[in-house]
Chains A and B, each alone.
Chain A
Amino acid sequence: MQHVWIVLGVLFVLLNVAAGLIWVERRMLAMWQDRLGPNRAGPLGLLIVLADTLKLFFKEDWIPSFADKKIFVIAPAIVVASVLMSFVVIPFAPGIVVADLNIGVLFFLAMSSLGVYSIVLGGWASNNKYSLLGAMRGASQMIAYEVFMGLSLMGVVMMTGSFRLTDIVEAQRSVWFCFTQPLGLILFFIAGIAETHRLPFDIPESESELIAGFHSEYSGMKFGMFFIGEYLGVTLISAMTVTMFFGGWMGPEFLPGWAWFFIKTFAFILFFILLRASLPRPRYDQLMESGWKVLLPLVLVNILVTGAVLLYLKG
């Protein structure tokens, strides 16, 4: 019975966080761009969340007559499902984890690599050239970046000797992995931004070139799924960064574990928004070149050095 409560609780909190991020992101962007942002509905404009969600529900849910209907409907569901599945392995506090798999890290990587289908299929099923271009860019960007996303986590796995996420958090009791694996942290975070295709890596949708890229033809709640999926993805990458590199629920005693986890995750979500507010979008070829020619070799060097140091310390 306790298990059911954990599942429902995690789902409830995540969906509310994703919805709440609508307000957080718009207020923060406004602050960093020296304007007010949403401030009419409710105190501090908080009711914009409700208004935005209701608007999405009441909009006409239109499927273009030229689209491949079944795939057009499946695509937005894939992104939300795959991101929510990834949260299954994340330990929010001691004992609060949906399924503590002993292949946790790999499970996260598998689920995040499935998310690319929503972009590719959504863009293809829309039968629109801008959407298809967005889908093509999305596919190659995510394939390129998920390669070293997995490899950047391997340093941490080598130091822990386990793929289980609770073991990884426990191993950071004395020192967080952000101090011993700084290169891994930076590379993982860059890959994470590319995986969630947020600015500056929002090349699949880049509205100034491709209208809205892969989701140009989507409206109503199907667009809402992509929207929620993006915010859930941001939350997922932040939570994963905290779990792998910043000690998960660890923190001074005066606050409970889940509160520390929440605070750290929120800090990274804010960092995501700050990046969006401050960085320009690179060109498509620059993105691919930096991925394959700079970041991938760096990741391999990181693994090699970590292995060598571990061997030296052992023997």
Chain B
Amino acid sequence: MGTTQILFWFLTALALLGAIMVLVSKNPVHSVLWLIVVFFAISGHYILLNAQFLAIVNLIVYAGAIMVLFLFVIMLMNLNAETEPQKSIWMKFFGVATGGLLLSFFISFIVSSIDLKNKTAQLKEGDVGLIKNLGKVLFSDYVIPFEIASILFLSAMVGAVVIGKKD
């Protein structure tokens, strides 16, 4: 196994562990911290795919800004077991059953319909993820979707300001 493969399996294990701990942790603040670990692992994967811009923006936007706001809100809400509505055991059972069915459906769909051999990501190859190439592609081939996405962001921002405004 080369270094790349060792890193790949390490990051995969870290991402899965983090994702499981997000669900298992009793304390919502701990869940948020494990989610940050997941983001770090995913950023590591992006770097392995040579998508440096995506990796660092994932850290800046998700780990650096959005999760801080998450923490902020969770700390202000003061969640604990007494104030949270408790679900009955039957609700939990049906939740697990439907979630499991959905997962098995996805897995069977992916296994049956996509040729996995040809879709394997190439590690450490390709330079589409470098800023220069990404910027050129975004502003030439995909300029209309890109602009539409920015208008979406703008409208979301205006909406947030309108909601947040005291009248």
Whether A and B are associated in the same complex: the answer reads yes
Best-surrounded residue of B52, B60, B65 (most CB of chain A within 10 A): B60
> Would you give the shortest CB distance from B103 to chain A, in whole angstroms?
31
Is B131's CB under 8 angstroms from A113's CB?
no
The SS class assigned to the B binding surface is helix
Q: Report which of B36, B59, B71, B72 forms a contact with A110, defined as CB distance below 8 A.
A: B59
Contacts of A136 in B (CB 8 A): 72, 75-76
The interface-forming segment of A29-37, A116-124, A210-218, A262-270 is A116-124
Q: Report which of B53, B57, B59, B69 forms a contact with A114, defined as CB distance below 8 A.
A: B59
Given contacts A102-B52, A107-B56, contact A116 B64 (CB under 8 A): yes
Q: Report which of B27, B63, B71, B131 forms a contact with A120, defined as CB distance below 8 A.
A: B71
> Would you give the shortest CB distance from B77 to chain A, in whole angstroms?
12
* B33 CB within 8 Å of chain A: yes
* B29 CB within 8 Å of chain A: yes
Count of B interface residues, CB-CB < 8 Å = 22
> Would you give the shortest CB distance from A271 to chain B, in whole angstroms?
27
* B130 CB within 8 Å of chain A: yes
Best-surrounded residue of B52, B56, B63, B71 (most CB of chain A within 10 A): B56
Q: Taking CB as reference atom, which chain A residue is nearest B29?
A: A124
* B14 CB within 8 Å of chain A: no
The interface-forming segment of A43-51, A138-146, A246-254 is A138-146
Q: Taking CB as reference atom, which chain B residue is nearest A123?
A: B75
Q: Mark A137-163, 1 if CB is under 8 A from B, else 0.
A: 001101100100010000000000001
Is B29's CB under 8 angstroms from A140's CB?
no
The SS class assigned to the A binding surface is helix
Once the chains are docked, how many angstroms separate the CA of A140 from the CA of B72? 8
Once the chains are docked, how many angstroms separate the CA of A68 from the CA of B71? 15
* B68 CB within 8 Å of chain A: yes
Band of interface residues on A: 20 to 34
Once the chains are docked, how many angstroms separate the CA of A120 from the CA of B75? 9
Once the chains are docked, how many angstroms separate the CA of A64 from the CA of B47? 40
Once the chains are docked, how many angstroms separate the CA of A48 from the CA of B77? 44
Contacts of B57 in A (CB 8 A): 106
Residues of B in contact with A (beta carbons under 8 Å apart): 27, 29-30, 33, 36, 52-53, 56-57, 59-60, 63-65, 68-69, 71-72, 75-76, 130-131
* A109 CB within 8 Å of chain B: yes
Q: Report which of B63, B65, B69, B75 forms a contact with A124, defined as CB distance below 8 A.
A: B75
24 A-B interface contacts by CB (under 8 A): A71-B29, A102-B52, A102-B131, A103-B131, A106-B53, A106-B56, A106-B57, A110-B60, A110-B63, A113-B59, A114-B63, A114-B64, A117-B36, A120-B68, A120-B72, A124-B29, A132-B75, A135-B75, A136-B75, A136-B76, A139-B72, A140-B72, A142-B68, A146-B64
Q: Report which of A71, A106, A121 forms a contact with B60, defined as CB distance below 8 A.
A: A106
Residues of A in contact with B (beta carbons under 8 Å apart): 68, 71, 101-103, 106-107, 109-110, 113-114, 116-117, 120-121, 124, 132, 135-136, 139-140, 142-143, 146, 150, 163
Given contacts A102-B131, A103-B53, A163-B131, contact A110 B64 (CB under 8 A): yes
Is B72's CB under 8 angstroms from A71's CB?
no
Q: Taking CB as reference atom, which chain A residue is nearest B130?
A: A102
Q: Taking CB as reference atom, which chain B residue is nearest A113?
A: B64
Is A143's CB under 8 angstroms from B29's CB?
no
Is B69's CB under 8 angstroms from A143's CB?
yes
Q: Report which of B33, B52, B68, B76 forms a contact with A71, defined as CB distance below 8 A.
A: B33
Contacts of A106 in B (CB 8 A): 53, 56-57, 60
Contacts of A142 in B (CB 8 A): 68
Nearest 6 interchain pairs by C-beta: A113-B64, A110-B59, A106-B56, A110-B60, A139-B72, A103-B52
Identify 8 new A-B residue pairs, CB closer than 8 A, beyond the known A71-B30, A163-B131: A113-B65, A114-B63, A117-B68, A121-B71, A124-B29, A132-B75, A140-B72, A146-B65
Is B65's CB under 8 angstroms from A143's CB?
yes
> Would you give the shortest CB distance from B26 to chain A, in whole angstroms?
12
Once the chains are docked, how many angstroms separate the CA of A248 from the CA of B81? 54
Contacts of B29 in A (CB 8 A): 68, 71, 124
Contacts of A163 in B (CB 8 A): 131
